[in-house]
Every structure is written in C-alpha cells, then in structure tokens.
Amino acid sequence: MAVFLCAVGLFMWVFPIELNVLNSGYANLDALFVLGPWVFLFLGPAVTMRLFAEEQRTGTIELLSTKPLTDWQIILAKYLAGWILTIIAIIPTLIYYYSVYQLGSPAGNLDTGGMWGSYIGLILLAGAYVSIGVFASSITSNQIISFIIAVFLSFVVFIGIESMSSLFPMGAIEEAVINLGMNKHYLSLSRGVIDTRDMVYFISLIAVFLLFTKTKLESRKW
C-alpha cells in the first residue's frame, strides 16, 4: 500500500514528466489511473500470495476444513479480505482528487464523471487481480511461486490477451479477442460511462477465478 501511494504521488507531483499535474497544466488524475493498474498488478498478488499457500505449507488448511464452514465461505472470506485491503489502499488517493479539484481554474473545473468512473474501474480491476491471486495461492504451498503465477496471469488477462488480438486481423475476431482482456473494459469505465457490459465482464472474471479456486480446494478430497 505504501509503495502504491508513494509511486503514484511521485509521478503525479514530483517527477518532471508529462503525467505530473503541475507540469501538464490540466486538472486530471491521469497519473493515478494510468499507473494504478500496473501497480495493482503487483499489489494484488502480494496481498493474496499467502492466503492459501501458507495454510497449505503449515497444514492449517486441514484444520480449517474441519470447521463448520463451506469451501465457498472460506474462499469468499479470504477474497473479500484481500479486496477490501486493496480498496483501503485506494481511499487515500481521494486527497489527490481534492487537490486537483481545488487546483482547477476555476476550482472544480475537471471531468468528475470520468474520474469517478475511473475509480470504479480501478476498484473492479483490483478485485479481478485479487481473485486471480487467490486462485494462484490455492495451487501451491510456496508463496513466492504463488506471487509469480498471479503476476503472470494478471499480466496476461490485463494486457496480454489484447496484445494477441493482432494475430487475428479479421475485424470481428480481433474485437472479440480485445474484449476478453481487462484493459478494454477498464478504459471504457474510465470514460465515465458505467456500461453494464463492463460490469458484467469484471464480475464474471472474478467469479470464474473463484470457481477455479473452489475446484482446486475440492480436489484435495478426491
């Protein structure tokens, strides 16, 4: 969380680059919403890498399974814990929003709808990364391996699939492949338009990886 906030803060206010608010001359939070997905690509796996891996390494997963809890309750509890932690990391960035709001000429002269859409997109993106991290943590007892797998899968789903769309020059197929990646839907939300297709995509992606996690946990009983 500290790395995320420091990185975004430095790029927004300190480093003399185009994304720097004071240098760009525009009241926006582009630095946050451009860097956020890449920082969360590492933060999500870092938050989740021990959730199941450590349980399996120490053997406490067996103790946990004897409690009057279903697999879904265990998975959702761990997933929500990780997701809430990432949301807590986002909350302090509201200070940046307030600062940019006041720096506008006149004050408040900024695309508020686009910013709130970007915040929703960033929260959903973080939720997707956490679901991938939970799955990665469930397939190994080594938290470092869990972290590496989660980062790789997150990268593939975020930008890798979209990059592979160039292999399909046909318009309809290329567009379909692009729609499978998170970046397209994140950018769509960043425009301030809350499209149900984007919401359904993120919810479905989260559900798929949580279902994978449940299948992996059930396999220990086979």
- What confidence tens digit (pLDDT) does each residue in 26-54 have? 767 777 888 888 888 998 999 999 888 88
Q: Which pTM does this prediction carry? A: 0.88
74, containing H or E segment: helix 71-90
The pLDDT score that the predictor gives to residue 217 is 84
Q: Cα separation of 159 and 154, whole Å?
A: 8
Q: Cα separation of 42 and 181, whole Å?
A: 18
Q: Is the pLDDT of residue 163 over 90?
A: no
DSSP conformation class of 107? T
